[in-house]
Chain A
């Protein structure tokens, strides 16, 4: 029997549809960018090849997106740089999610002293703004991609740890977990089947958001000259490299800037950070 929907239900349906649309657009954009970045080596010229007759070539003349101050193909460098940015961001996010979830589950399961210790560790790490800690670590160890990755993992894990712990704590007090313990299941089994299953959806959303933010941070560090060493391309570093030529050929700055923002934007579309209420 067809039932008449109330206004509230209709609004909920609208919101859901709107969110689904956002997610689809986000996924589409992300797949396009990943496709471009992955197929880069086959569809673009060598990103390190300097062609001095083509210095500052306009887009569409000799190269698809023009050439930079050394006559290198911008399209090729975008693909190569994007592969670096996305690959390093992925490493960072996977690393911090693994560490965060592991420590969060440990804290919630063992409680007491273990919990206190881990939460104090979270407090300590959160006492630094992200890029500052990354600068401190990357800077004093002499920079390089490894230093940047480690630094960003180090600033990334507390968020996942806190959420994992909070969800795990509320799950552990449920009757089905207690009955699982009484039934004699091993801790590993309960953690995996009962608790991790509750944690996973939330963490997936957070990690998608975190990925967008990591791309921002990595490119900001690249822009500051910490991370990959030139001539290795990276989106943020490409912007910094082309900065002196901003007046004459703004394209060189605008192309990586636009791609970078679009990438981050599409990840935010998927995870939709602003539709949720900010944590108080």
Chain B
């Protein structure tokens, strides 16, 4: 019990630090870097031709950019704690609303990608794990090494090139119909599937070597029955633990894939605001992604705890 509490406390600590770091880093960045934020905002909002000194001054006053630094900082942190993330410097929209809107699309993409990756990885991994060292295992291990070394945007490009441009089966980019979801989801899912199929394979191979598994076969259960009754649940633990690590991969991939496919999710929002130096939105998006990551890890911890009573005695290192 103590292990799980400690692990959750560690993740909660991470969550608090995420909030503080994002707030501080964004704040320091906006005030220490060269360049006048008010000027940037004015240009982004009104285009370069329509920007003059008066407009810049007005924006400076409106956005509170002329107050003392310490005051601006504490105001921001206080607002973060109350979940009021302010308004976008560019579009003047509420950051919270902006995030909620884009989050829907990211969630859709990430959920579909995860489903795709499970659909690929589960049969693939089991096939490899049942005959470890066999021909299927060796070949797919090579395929997986190749797959993890191809950048996600390259996988996406190859899919666009083959499925959209050559075969005209699917639309290239955008978000208007479910068909638009297919290529981005496969792009994200394939890299995840490559890694998790290996994790499934090794963990299943481990379980199959265990005494209780061999005893199951010895007492006369059919190979299929042993696999489902003794194999799956035990093999699932490392696989689920690995989801926490994969979440990082998924969230990184989301930025790249959303940009490539013009998918209007958090990643695209983050990149656009980075390029426009829209600090409130950058902070909001990073905060959301950081907290999401921490939440996934806490959930993974709890699932593993529920699945594996031995955890209470084991040293957990995840």
Contacts and interface: CB of A to CB of B under 8 A. Distances in A.
B91 interface: no
A272 B133 CA distance: 16
B34 A265 contact: no
Interface string A111-147: 0000000001001101111111001111111100000
B145 A140 contact: no
B241 interface: yes
B279 to A, nearest CB: 7
Contact of A141 (B13, B33, B146, B165): B33
B26 A246 contact: no
A135 B270 contact: yes
Contacts of A216: 149, 151
A267 B15 CA distance: 34
A253 B153 CA distance: 11
**Which of A135, A225, A246 has the most chain B CB within a 10 Å cutoff?**
A135
**Which of A120, A219, A267, A274 has the most chain B CB within a 10 Å cutoff?**
A274
Contact of A239 (B30, B149, B157): B157
Interface string B45-69: 0000000000000000000000000
A268 interface: yes
A268 B149 contact: yes
A139 B277 contact: yes
Contacts of A277: 202
Contacts of A267: 149
B9 to A, nearest CB: 11
B161 A246 contact: yes
Contact of A131 (B144, B252, B279): B252
Q: How large is the interface on A (under 10, 10 to 19, 20 to 34, 35 or more residues)?
A: 35 or more
Contacts of A278: 195, 198-199, 202, 238, 242, 245
**Which of B161, B199, B274 has the most chain A CB within a 10 Å cutoff?**
B274
A190 interface: no
Contact of A127 (B15, B148, B271, B318): B15
Secondary structure of the B side of the interface? helix
Given A142-B34, A261-B149, A246 B290 contact: no
Interface string B267-309: 0001101110101001000100110011000000000000000
A136 B148 contact: no
Given A123-B13, A275-B141, A128 B293 contact: yes
Given A123-B14, A142-B33, A220-B252, 19 more contacts: A11-B133, A123-B10, A126-B14, A127-B293, A127-B294, A128-B290, A129-B293, A132-B286, A132-B289, A135-B255, A135-B271, A139-B275, A223-B151, A236-B153, A246-B160, A253-B161, A257-B157, A261-B149, A269-B145
Interface of B: 10, 13-15, 17-18, 21-22, 25-26, 29-30, 33-35, 133, 141, 144-146, 148-154, 157-158, 160-161, 165, 195, 198-199, 202, 238, 241-242, 245, 247-249, 251-252, 255-256, 259, 270-271, 273-275, 277, 279, 282, 286, 289-290, 293-294, 317-318
